[in-house]
């Protein structure tokens, strides 16, 4: 299990003067299944909700981190999770770059995005979209930094047939995704995935 490490550089970036504090929109172009037509959903990023989370998301966007990311954990009536890079080298660069928690200023209601964590100050790259009202997460350092403003019904169609992580389900092992990327995920061909993200 990775030890929580706070990345000083990321923490400093969260307070940099050039960090935008204005909300902006990001379009996620996705495929619900391999061979299916492209579809999309739109997210509004709210830096004022969680500045450090919003800054990390922007940093990841800037390096095209989310290209080919699978929605690797889909739990019906709870959330969908993504953020394990398709390229293991990219994950190795960013996955250990932990950053500090933001105060929780918004509730984890349906459609809001938060970074996953393993305890205080352990966020890095994994993000989940609440597909239900999960207010119980608010006391566990999960700070929403964005919300879906278009396409929530599409998100609820993402493939969840593999279930949760083993042993709760037969979904992909996140440790193997980190180490092997797409070569491992080929064994889970039905997973929905991100083709690209762009500011609109």
Could you tell me which CATH number the domain at 8-199 has?
2.40.100.10
Nearest alpha carbon to residue 50 among 119, 121, 129, 142: 142
Residue 12 has pLDDT above 60, yes or no: no
The reported pLDDT for the residue numbered 35 is 87
The reported pLDDT for the residue numbered 34 is 84
Q: Which residues pair with 42 in a beta bridge?
A: 27, 150
54-110 pLDDT per residue, tens? 999 999 999 999 999 999 999 999 999 999 999 999 999 999 999 999 999 999 999
CA distance 115 to 123: 6
Range in 103-112, 149-158, 165-174 the model is least confident about: 165-174
The reported pLDDT for the residue numbered 20 is 67
The reported pLDDT for the residue numbered 99 is 98
Residue 153 has pLDDT above 80, yes or no: yes
Q: What would the two tokens of residue 86 be?
A: 């398709």
The reported pLDDT for the residue numbered 95 is 97
Range in 6-20, 60-74, 160-174 the model is least confident about: 6-20
CA distance 97 to 189: 29
């Amino acid at each position: 299990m990775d030890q929580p490490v706070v990345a000083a550089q990321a923490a400093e970036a969260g307070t940099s003067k050039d960090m935008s504090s204005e909300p902006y929109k990001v379009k996620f172009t996705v495929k619900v299944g391999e061979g299916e037509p492209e579809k999309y959903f739109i997210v509004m990023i709210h830096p004022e909700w969680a500045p450090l989370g919003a800054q990390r998301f922007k940093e990841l966007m800037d390096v095209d981190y989310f290209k080919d990311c699978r929605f690797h954990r889909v739990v019906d009536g709870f959330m969908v999770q993504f953020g394990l890079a398709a390229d293991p080298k990219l994950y190795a660069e960013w996955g250990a770059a932990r950053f500090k928690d933001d105060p929780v200023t918004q509730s984890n209601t349906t459609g809001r995005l938060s970074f996953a964590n393993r305890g205080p100050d352990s966020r890095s790259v994994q993000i989940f979209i609440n597909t239900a009202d999960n207010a119980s997460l608010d006391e566990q350092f999960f700070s929403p930094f964005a919300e879906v403003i278009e396409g929530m019904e599409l998100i609820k169609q993402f493939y969840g047939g593999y279930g949760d992580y083993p042993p709760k389900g037969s979904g992909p092992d996140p440790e193997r995704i980190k180490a092997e990327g797409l070569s491992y995920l080929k064994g889970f061909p039905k997973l929905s995935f991100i083709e690209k993200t762009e500011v609109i």
